[in-house]
Amino acid sequence: MPIITLTSDIGQEDFIIGALKGQILSTIPGMGIADITHYLSSKNYQQGAYIFNNAAKHYPAGTLHFIMVNFFQFPKRHALLTKHNNQYFITPDNGFLTMMLGGKPKEIIKIDFKQAHTFLEITQEIFKAIGAFVKTNNIADAGVAFQEIEEIYPMQPTLGPNWMEGQILFIDQFENVVVNIRKEEFDIQAQGRSFKIVFTRNETITDLSKHYGEVPISDKLAWFNSAGYLEIAVRGGNMAGLFGLSKFDENQMNKQRPNDNKWFFQMVRVFFE
């Protein structure tokens, strides 16, 4: 029996996640269940996709992933099921699927829940469809083929001959800052040249580290994290708070926060020499 993971923006302070697990075990007995996270942002899809993708890729082939993010953003009476890299994904039809995969899958199945109204009634219909698919291992048994989906795509770094600019994608609980620049993109752009990572107005980093221990306490450092993204930090400190860095929001880019005298920066630039 395959595994199903649960990912959402619901939190775990009430009964919903427990009820979902009960529905799964009642509908598909023996199904393995794993939680990825239930604290994704309902507004920042790119951040949510970063967190989800870098956990989901470690699950075995055949895993089903049920992602419940901003489930009722669009008044649609269906969910989407698709296969990608030998795993299966069930999402609302709100753009998160293409944000997560970086493209539109060729085969998409629509799971209807037109007769359901409450969230748990809807999820029950979805799990029934998944149960039908699990029995035959044919995703077409879960619904009907569908292509007219909402599409939202991740932001990409901006490139120039001697520079690249990325947006701050994620800030973790230690206030380390992740930028949407991947190692392979960085290496192609660098072409072996020296570089200068610039954030705020005059703060720079000119070397890449392999881990925190390579710099003294309180020093700045940059490295490519286990997900392959550029990350900047202060050893033993809080990079975002110390330097006024904030997750990218195109509506608030490089603006002061209300009632605050500090400037918050959402972009990181790399110059090559």
CA dihedral of 12, 37, 41, 240, whole degrees rounded to 10: 110
Does 136 share its domain with 11?
A: yes
State how far Cα 73 lies from the chain centre: 17
Does 7 share its domain with 112?
A: yes
Distance spanning both ends of the chain, measured CA to CA: 54
**What tokens were used for 80?**
């989407």
* Residue ranges of the chain whose pLDDT lies below 50: 252-264
Phi and psi at 231, nearest 5°, equal -130, 135
Structural domain contains residue 31 = yes
Structural domain contains residue 191 = yes
Would you give the DSSP letter of residue 253?
T
Does 22 share its domain with 85?
A: yes
Last residue in a domain, options 104, 122, 145: 145
Structural domain contains residue 163 = yes
244, 200 Cβ separation under 8 angstroms? yes
**What tokens were used for 94?**
């709100």
Structural domain contains residue 100 = yes
Q: What is the pLDDT of residue 249?
A: 66
**What tokens were used for 240?**
């975002």
Distance separating alpha carbons of residues 107 and 102, to the nearest angstrom:
15
Does 203 share its domain with 239?
A: yes
CATH number (domain holding residue 81): 3.40.50.10790
Structural domain contains residue 125 = yes
12, 4 Cβ separation under 8 angstroms? no
Alpha-carbon dihedral sign for residues 33, 37, 42, 44: negative
Count the domains in the chain.
Answer: 2
Does 266 share its domain with 134?
A: no
CATH number (domain holding residue 172): 2.40.30.90
Does 7 share its domain with 141?
A: yes
Q: For 103-149, how does the pLDDT look when each residue is reduced to its tens digit (9 = 90+)?
A: 999 999 999 998 888 999 999 999 999 999 999 989 999 999 999 99
Does 112 share its domain with 23?
A: yes
Does 93 share its domain with 209?
A: no
Q: What is the pLDDT of residue 259?
A: 42
Tell me which residue range forms the domain holding 226: 158-272
Helix and strand totals (H; E) in the chain: 6, 15
Does 135 share its domain with 168?
A: no
Does 136 share its domain with 19?
A: yes
Q: What is the pTM of this model?
A: 0.87
